[in-house]
Amino acid sequence: MIGIDFGYGALEAEFWRLVFVMTRIGAVLVAAPLFGAVTVPAQARVMVAGAVAVMICAWTPVAAPAALLSAPGIMAVLGEVLVGLTLGFVLQLSFAAPVIAAEVIGGGMGMNMAVAVDPVAGAQSPALGQYFMVVLTIVFLALGAHLQWFALLTRSYEVFPPGQTWLGPERFALVASFASRMLLTAVGIALPVTLVLLVVQLVTGVLSRSAPALNLFSLGMPAGVLGGIAALMIAAPVLTDMVSRLSAEALEQVAEVLGL
């Protein structure tokens, strides 16, 4: 199996087959949101990858290369990593929409100064971004989208079996086109609140011009924060619908990459 025989026969061959299958699953878990968060221990990812690999080995006739340490074997492993990272990156693109929407809304409210560490990316993000990500995570898991995503991962072994994992320029262009859809979704999430903030700022601007004694900064900042919070409360049902649609679109994009 790897060019070295330890004398365990079929048991050893099945072990290296399991390790080979875990390569694609591990790459997916590293690149995908939720599972690839810096707060998720590496041991947990290995256990999840191993559990999913056991099921895939039982359900699909996946065969590992005859010699993993040879040039064809290394190329097969790199192909598995490529497919896994691509599937995880497509899901990551979808999850970036709420963060971009939060940047736009936070800029209008003047709350971009309130930042927190994003446990998914390990970097700082606006507090509103944390709120949107929590809502998206809850809806994504409540809809069972993570189970459908694992089902698509399992079917990827039928579409891209080991040794035939080159995606091609068409699929790479398709992944790049998902960025425009992600930006449109971000605009749809931020638009209701942004319109309310625009009206609030127009009103404060008119008041500051009609009554110069009023300080625009002392009046506009609290009005923007209060107007933004009120708009977020009113637009909460719209946010839930947009996040639900975003979860469905994320799965559709993964299926499009697989050609399903």
Q: pLDDT digits over 56-91, tens only?
A: 877 777 777 776 677 777 787 787 888 888 888 888
Q: Which residues contact 154 (CB under 8 A, 6 or more apart)?
A: 52, 55, 56, 59, 60
Closest among 95, 87, 182 to 137, alpha carbons compared? 95
pLDDT digits (tens, 9 = 90+) for 6-63: 555 566 677 777 788 888 888 888 887 777 676 777 788 888 888 888 888 777 777 7
H or E element in which residue 73 lies: helix 71-109
| Mean pLDDT of the 108-135 span | 65
Distance CA(64)–CA(80), nearest Å, equals 11
Instruction: Name, of 33-37, 119-123, 183-187, the range with top average pLDDT.
Output: 183-187
Q: Is the pLDDT of residue 1 over 70?
A: no
Q: Which residues contact 251 (CB under 8 A, 6 or more apart)?
A: 145, 148, 149, 152
Q: Is the pLDDT of residue 189 over 50?
A: yes
Q: Which two tokens stand for residue 73?
A: 């074997």
| Mean pLDDT of the 187-201 span | 79
pLDDT digits (tens, 9 = 90+) for 223-255: 777 777 777 777 777 777 777 887 787 788 778
Distance CA(154)–CA(9), nearest Å, equals 27
What pLDDT was estimated at residue 112?
60
Residue 58 CB-density burial (10 A; 0-12 exposed, 13-18 middle, 19+ buried): exposed
| 250, 95 Cβ separation under 8 angstroms | yes
What pLDDT was estimated at residue 106?
74
pLDDT band at 121 (very low <50, low <70, confident <90, very high): low
Which residue type is seen at 10?
Answer: A
Residue 31's φ and ψ, nearest 5 degrees, are -85, -25
What pLDDT was estimated at residue 114?
57
| Mean pLDDT of the 175-200 span | 80
What's the alpha-carbon Rg for the chain, to the nearest Å? 24
| Mean pLDDT of the 135-163 span | 80
Q: Name the E strands within 110-204.
A: 115-117, 124-126
Q: How many CA atoms lie within 13 A of 128 on its CB side?
A: 28
Instruction: Name, of 35-39, 111-115, 127-131, 158-162, the range with top average pLDDT.
Output: 158-162
State pTM to two decimals.
0.71
